[in-house]
Amino acid sequence: MGGQSVPRRRMAWGLALLALPALLLGTGCTRSSQAAQQQRGTAVVIFVDFSDSVGGNDRVAFKREIDKLVLPWLQPGDSLLIAAIHDKTLTEFRPLVEAELPPRPHFNGWLNNVIKYNRATKETDARIVQVKETLRTQTAEALTRRYQARYTDIFSSLLLAEKLFSAESRNKVLILMSDMIEDYPPYIFDRMTWAPTTTQTLLAELQAKRMIADLSHVCVYVSGVSAPSAELAQNIGRFWEAYFRRAGADVNPSRYAHVLLHWPPPTSCNLQ
């Protein structure tokens, strides 16, 4: 028995050594998968109000928030789309600005050459800077247009956001730059009589008409909130909070404000 222990040990060590490459490869795949999940990127969609109720100074503020907050935050693999809220949002939809940042190359010690990887990383970084500058220029041009719409069809913009996000595997962030006063017949928020039951009645009507968007796992921000009176602003704010919750969105009252607050999105936002 004692004489057989050495060969058995050698056999055991041999099997362990044979299994080691497979284990290492398996570990590498797991880490790579985890890294890919962590770096899957974010799709940012911004709807900007071009109705008569939102003036040029408001859009100047919106441009500043995009320049100073949103664009610098974008990372490799992220995308940005900016569209207008107006009276023909669904029938004449066309993005004002749209671009995708190239993803940074992944390094695999088994397959990649370090020199080539470093070169590719520098090229990607340079390309990202170029794309951001293009986005900044196009955004400035889009938000200084004189085009204005008679109505504010926010409901249709949200339905369109659902379509834009429907096939998206990345994190999803929706920014509405608007006073949030829906003004598209038959819903005209600043002319309605708001009662304690108005929000639930309105949501029931929208649900029956299939006008509540599915915004599951979408992190929602609102910038530009305003109204002729504090009471109306509170009623409209309560409605939108209830709407977004019914839509399944990740919404927080602190992200519904006159300016873009609590940016960037927290890691807890829209986890899938």
Q: In degrees rounded to 5, what are phi and psi of residue 258?
A: -75, -25
Q: What is the pLDDT of residue 7?
A: 47
Establish how many alpha carbons lie within 13 A of residue 204's alpha carbon, considering only the half-sphere containing its beta carbon.
Answer: 5
pTM, rounded to two decimals: 0.82
Provide the 10 A C-beta neighbour count for residue 159.
18
Q: 84-139, pLDDT tens digit by residue?
A: 998 777 777 889 999 999 987 765 655 566 777 778 788 888 899 999 999 999 99
C-alpha to C-alpha distance for 24 and 30, rounded to whole angstroms: 10
Query: Which parts of the chain register pLDDT below 50?
Result: 1-38
**Nearest Cα to Cα of residue 70 among 79, 58, 83, 60:** 79
- 48 three-class SS: strand
Burial of 69 (0-12, 13-18, 19+ CB in 10 A): middle
Q: Which residues pair with 183 in a beta bridge?
A: 152, 188
Residues 6 or more apart from 110 whose CB is under 8 A from it? 25, 28
Sign of torsion, CA 128 130 136 138? Answer: negative
> Whole-angstrom Cα distance, residue 40 to residue 30?
15
Asked whether the beta carbons of 234 and 240 are under 8 A apart, the reply is no
Q: How far is CA 71 from the centre of its chain?
A: 12
CATH code reported for the domain at 40-257 = 3.40.50
Strands (E), 135-184: 171-177, 183-184
Among 87, 89, 88, 79, CA closest to 45 = 79
pLDDT at 271: 56
Cα–Cα distance measured from residue 149 to residue 52, given in angstroms and rounded to the nearest whole number = 6
